[in-house]
């Protein structure tokens, strides 16, 4: 019999509520012969306040023993900005070499978008996850004085760029439209820009069937609102990816339905799946959060582990549930979770 050994990090704010629904749907969709084992971890604001810890070496060792990680959200206004982000979220991405940050955007039927004319949106952003301006390189001198200088260093390596670009080409190759767009700012950030552009063009030769193009990140934000249908797969740097995937989520139904995977493709470390939204402390504990983004993250998790038909069933269930919402009164987090669990089981 097979097993799925899952680390679960509900985290802060609405993280608890949405993860509960994600696990409910996961249990409902898994075949009988797959034994689901979950272990909950208490990372986040509470643990930080109690112990000062965000993520220890022992924590990493414990997480490492799982097939995958499901995360709700980490972050709370009571913790200074950056402490949990750098001390937990980014530390984990770097420690487990989550270099493929996968963020699909699909505007499902019936789902509201701020864009006029209900455009077709169905693309995937492959965001680099372990380099760029996210490395924490940089520093400050003369802090707090009128002579303070603060630097941030974006670090880009041929090794790091090539592996994520190759991953993105492979994903584009596997999709019907077979199109890959590089998003960067190579006319200003010329050092990193040349590296990204050259590696992209080199790897392109291995994928002659994939049509390629290049767009500056500023122009990409224009296309995301005027012509999102032009995108199939996008590959981009860590910071640009952070920015454009929030915009992509906004135009394709909102962060209530945006899922993501922090993937270590080699499998050396477990990959982590999480909704793009944060902990939303303003609505925490009120049953108002939409668990769909977490449930869709569970689908990405299942697909990553080879359970393709279960992933597809979850996606179909969420799609059907969203289509039926139109004009109906809002349901609670749990009601949506229950409805999805029924759908995937049926």
Ligand X SMILES: CC(C)[C@H](C(=O)O)[C@@H](O)C(=O)O
**Given the rule CB under 8 A, which residues bind a second copy?**
81-82, 85-86, 90, 113-117, 133-134, 136-140, 142-159, 162, 185-195, 197-198, 217-219, 221-222, 224-226, 239, 242-247, 249-251, 254-255
Per-residue tokens: 169: 């080409």
- Compute the distance between CA of residue 289 and CA of residue 333 in angstroms, rounded to an integer: 6
CB of 101 to ligand X, least distance (A): 8
> Active site includes 178?
no
- Compute the distance between CA of residue 39 and CA of residue 34 in angstroms, rounded to an integer: 16
> Active site includes 91?
no
Instruction: Tell me if 258 sits within 8 A of 274, measured CB to CB.
Output: no
> Active site includes 65?
no
CB of 242 to a second copy, least distance (A): 5
CB of 199 to ligand X, least distance (A): 22
Regarding 218 and contact with ligand X (CB under 6 A), the answer is yes
Catalytic residue among 24, 59, 97, 134: 134
User: Residue 128's closest CA among 265, 215, 235, 202?
Assistant: 235
Regarding 112 and contact with ligand X (CB under 6 A), the answer is no
Site string for ligand X, 226-265 (x = CB under 6 A): ----------------x-----------------------
Catalytic residue among 48, 106, 185, 237: 185
What region, left, alpha or beta, does residue 142 occupy, with left being phi > 0 and alpha being psi -120 to 50 degrees? left
User: Residue 258's closest CA among 129, 127, 102, 128?
Assistant: 102
- Compute the distance between CA of residue 263 and CA of residue 97 in angstroms, rounded to an integer: 8
- Compute the distance between CA of residue 221 and CA of residue 325 in angstroms, rounded to an integer: 29
What are the CA-CA distances from residue 61 to residues 3, 51, 79, 178, 231 (Å)? 20, 18, 25, 39, 39
CB of 168 to ligand X, least distance (A): 18
Which one among 20, 60, 83, 85 touches ligand X, defined by CB under 6 A?
Answer: 85
CB of 284 to a second copy, least distance (A): 17
Do the annotations mark residue 222 as ligand-binding?
Answer: no
- Compute the distance between CA of residue 252 and CA of residue 114 in angstroms, rounded to an integer: 8
Do the annotations mark residue 136 as ligand-binding?
Answer: no
Do the annotations mark residue 103 as ligand-binding?
Answer: yes
> Active site includes 134?
yes
Reduced to 3 states (helix: H, G, I; strand: E, B; else coil), residue 132 is strand
Regarding 89 and contact with ligand X (CB under 6 A), the answer is yes
User: Residue 277's closest CA among 291, 263, 288?
Assistant: 291
Instruction: Tell me if 331 sits within 8 A of 46, measured CB to CB.
Output: no
Per-residue tokens: 5: 């050994």
Q: Which is nearer to a second copy, 114 or 306 (CB)?
A: 114
Q: Which is nearer to ligand X, 89 or 257 (CB)?
A: 89
Per-residue tokens: 228: 């999102």
CB of 118 to a second copy, least distance (A): 9
Do the annotations mark residue 289 as ligand-binding?
Answer: yes
User: Residue 246's closest CA among 234, 255, 237?
Assistant: 255
Picked from ligand X, a second copy, none, the partner binding residue 324 (CB below 5 to 8 A depending on kind) is none
Site string for ligand X, 165-194 (x = CB under 6 A): ----------------------xx------
The residues binding ligand X (CB under 6 A) are 85, 89-90, 187-188, 218, 242
Residues that are catalytic: 134, 185, 218, 242, 246
Residues belonging to the binding site for Mg(2+) are 218, 242, 246
Residues belonging to the binding site are 93, 103, 127, 218, 242, 246, 278-290
């Amino acid at each position: 019999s097979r097993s799925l050994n899952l680390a679960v990090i509900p985290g802060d704010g609405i993280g608890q509520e949405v993860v509960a629904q994600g696990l409910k749907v996961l249990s409902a969709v898994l075949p009988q012969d797959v034994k689901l084992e979950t272990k909950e971890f208490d990372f986040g604001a509470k643990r930080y306040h109690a112990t000062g810890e965000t993520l220890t070496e022992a924590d990493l060792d414990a997480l490492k023993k799982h097939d995958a990680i499901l995360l709700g959200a980490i972050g709370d206004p009571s913790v200074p900005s950056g402490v949990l982000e750098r001390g937990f979220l980014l530390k984990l991405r770097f420690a487990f070499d989550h270099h493929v940050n996968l963020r699909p955007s699909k505007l499902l039927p019936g789902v509201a978008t701020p864009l006029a004319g209900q455009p077709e949106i169905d693309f995937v952003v492959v965001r680099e996850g372990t380099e760029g301006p996210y490395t924490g390189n940089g520093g400050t001198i003369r802090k707090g004085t009128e002579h303070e200088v603060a630097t941030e260093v974006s670090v880009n390596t041929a090794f790091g760029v090539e592996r994520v670009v190759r991953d993105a080409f492979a994903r584009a190759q596997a999709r019907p439209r077979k199109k890959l767009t590089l998003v960067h700012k190579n006319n200003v950030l010329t050092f990193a820009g040349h590296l990204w552009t050259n590696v992209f063009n080199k790897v392109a030769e291995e994928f002659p069937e994939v049509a390629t193009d290049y767009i500056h990140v500023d122009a990409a934000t224009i296309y995301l609102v005027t012509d999102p249908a032009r995108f199939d797969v996008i590959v981009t740097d860590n910071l640009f990816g952070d920015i454009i995937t929030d915009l992509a989520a906004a135009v394709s139904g909102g962060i209530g339905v945006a899922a993501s995977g922090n993937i270590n493709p080699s499998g050396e470390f477990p990959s982590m799946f999480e909704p793009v939204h944060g902990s939303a402390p303003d609505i925490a504990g009120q049953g108002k959060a939409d668990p769909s983004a977490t449930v869709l993250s569970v689908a990405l998790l299942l697909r990553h582990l080879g359970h393709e038909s279960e992933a597809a069933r979850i996606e179909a269930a969420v799609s059907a549930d969203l289509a039926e919402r139109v004009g109906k009164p809002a349901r609670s987090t749990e009601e949506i979770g229950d409805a999805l669990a029924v759908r995937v089981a049926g």
